[in-house]
Chain A
Amino acid sequence: DGGITQSPKYLFRKEGQNVTLSCEQNLNHDAMYWYRQDPGQGLRLIYYSQIVNDFQKGDIAEGYSVSREKKESFPLTVTSAQKNPTAFYLCASSILGLGETQYFGPGTRLLVL
């Protein structure tokens, strides 16, 4: 089955700790994205990548970092600099083009202890 997987489903972070959220896709999509969703709100873009070894900041990149070493994988690290990390994180991917549809993974819920 082709699709996007995210792990873990739930993640707990202690104060001062960095945590990494995994996102993998087997759709052969070039572009991948990370969005954050807060309660009662739409999604906001954190980072995106159109090609391996290259990525761009979105609207709310502070306190986050990413890497794109493989086409299939786009992990997101929530660093200790992110003061309000509690949210639902969604990964998406798309083919490159003009307004191509972004397909989403099942998400990771991050909670701060």
Chain B
Amino acid sequence: AQTVTQSQPEMSVQEAETVTLSCTYDTSESNYYLFWYKQPPSRQMILVIRQEAYKQQNATENRFSVNFQKAAKSFSLKISDPQLGDTAMYFCAFIIQGAQKLVFGQGTRLTINP
């Protein structure tokens, strides 16, 4: 079975306090792609960052970076200098190469406090 586990249902940090969201996944496939999406109160799903499993280099996107550990099947998201606008639900997801279904975790509700 293909699953994603986000072990932190809720997190709360102060502005500018670096935060890391955890994600582990399970698949027997070796070729896949990993994603972090954010869902703000508007409920639209917005892509944060994407990682190809065949790449060892961790993806970065401005203040967002990932720590991808393929052997451990871990894909954590680090937010540097978080801002109030980063308050949202964050979902970890992956898709097997050639498949069409994104497999989502349950989400982590992140609150950034002033």
Residues on A lying within 8 angstroms of B by beta carbon are 31, 33, 35, 40-45, 48, 50, 56, 58-59, 88, 90, 92, 98-99, 101-107
Contact B93 A101 (CB under 8 A): no
Count: A-B pairs, CB below 8 Å = 58
Measured CB to CB, the residues of B under 8 A from A are: 4, 31-33, 35, 37, 42-47, 50, 52, 91, 93, 95-98, 100-102, 104-107
A58 engages B101 (CB within 8 Å): yes
Across the interface, which residues of A come within 8 angstroms of B93, CB to CB? 42-43
- Interface pair A106/B106, CB less than 8 Å apart: no
Structural contact, B100 and A48, CB atoms closer than 8 A: yes
Q: Which residues of B contact A42 (CB under 8 A)?
A: 4, 91, 93, 104-107
Given contacts A99-B32, A99-B95, contact A48 B47 (CB under 8 A): no
